[in-house]
């Protein structure tokens, strides 16, 4: 799981590890002991945030006009396809 420094809490990281999820969360600057994380994977987190930002440019996706999950997922897929195409 990729997350920013705001999610750096012992209880949260331990809960992820208990579920078998490998966290990639850098420690806060004020924290004395820093856990190791994959810096390369953490830097690529920006691509995911940019993708969600572009999806929210589509008003239908951002406001979730469609209440049916299947129709909403198809709208997201359509928006992602058009963004990739252009």
pLDDT, tens digit (0-9, with 9 covering 90-100), for 27-76: 777 777 767 777 788 888 888 888 888 888 888 787 878 788 898 888 88
Q: Print the domain residue range for 34.
A: 1-43
Contact 72, 55 (CB under 8 A): no
pLDDT for the residue numbered 17: 92
- Whether the per-residue pLDDT at 18 is higher than 90: the answer is yes
Neighbours of 25 (CB within 10 A): 20
2 and 32 housed in the same domain: yes
More reliable by pLDDT, 21 or 31: 21
Residue 83: φ, ψ to 5°: -65, -40
5 and 37 housed in the same domain: yes
Virtual torsion, Cα 31, 36, 39, 42, nearest 10 deg? -70
15 and 36 housed in the same domain: yes
Q: Return d(Cα 71, Cα 28) in angstroms, integer.
A: 40
39 and 59 housed in the same domain: no
pLDDT for the residue numbered 57: 85
37 and 9 housed in the same domain: yes
Report if pTM > 0.85. no
pLDDT for the residue numbered 34: 67
Q: How many domains does the chain have?
A: 2
């Amino acid at each position: 799981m990729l997350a920013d420094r705001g999610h750096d809490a012992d209880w949260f990281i331990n809960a992820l590890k208990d579920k078998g999820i490998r966290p990639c969360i850098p420690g806060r600057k004020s924290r004395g002991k820093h856990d190791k994380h994959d810096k390369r994977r953490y830097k690529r987190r920006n691509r995911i945030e940019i993708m969600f930002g572009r999806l929210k440019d589509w008003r239908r996706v951002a406001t979730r006009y469609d209440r049916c999950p299947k129709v909403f997922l198809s709208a997201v897929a359509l928006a992602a396809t058009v963004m990739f195409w252009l």
